């Protein structure tokens, strides 16, 4: 009979993201040029305004903080409740900033409509999947 071996050692408290992509992104940042977003599956970016917004330093910092917070959730030595509260505060603050920017005229009316359409297009497949999931139960 084969015995199963269990590894009780704790996994690292980080999640590895494609290291080559991270290095390329950092090099692009150092050159101060905006990286061109091309996907092997979809080709050129279908959401250029959203890509542009996500390349801003404030958005990048929020994404890095969010990634670190998600890693903290997986870390058994971190308090999940505190981490979730921090994520909630971070996202709420960012949405508040986005709404303020929208109201203050940072974006033109056409930009607002285009950004809204891009976001809707991104979430449409997910919305469809979630609806079918809820109907199945």
Quick: pLDDT tens for 72-116: 888 888 888 988 998 899 889 888 988 888 889 888 888 888 888
Asked if 38 contacts 21 with a C-beta cutoff of 8 angstroms, the reply is no
Quick: pLDDT tens for 53-84: 888 898 898 889 889 988 988 888 888 898 89
End-to-end CA distance of the chain: 40
- Torsion, CA 48, CA 49, CA 54, CA 57, rounded to 10: 110
Q: Stretch 5-25: mean pLDDT, rounded?
A: 43
Q: What pTM was estimated for this model as a whole?
A: 0.56
Residues 6+ apart with CB under 8 A from 74: 11, 13, 15
Tell which residue, 97, 77, 93, has the closest CA to residue 85: 93
């Amino acid at each position: 009979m084969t015995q199963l071996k269990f590894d009780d050692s704790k996994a690292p408290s980080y999640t590895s993201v494609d290291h080559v992509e991270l290095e390329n992104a950092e090099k692009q940042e150092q050159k101060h040029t905006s990286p061109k977003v091309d996907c092997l599956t979809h080709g050129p970016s279908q959401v250029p305004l959203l890509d542009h917004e996500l390349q801003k330093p404030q958005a990048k910092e929020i994404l890095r903080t969010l990634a670190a917070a998600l890693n903290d959730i997986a870390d058994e030595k971190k308090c999940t409740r505190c981490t979730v509260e921090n994520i909630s505060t971070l996202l709420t603050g960012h949405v508040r900033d986005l709404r303020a920017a929208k109201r203050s005229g940072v974006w033109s009316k056409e930009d607002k409509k285009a950004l809204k359409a891009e976001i809707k297009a991104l979430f449409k497949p997910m919305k469809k999947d979630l609806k079918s999931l809820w109907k199945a139960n």
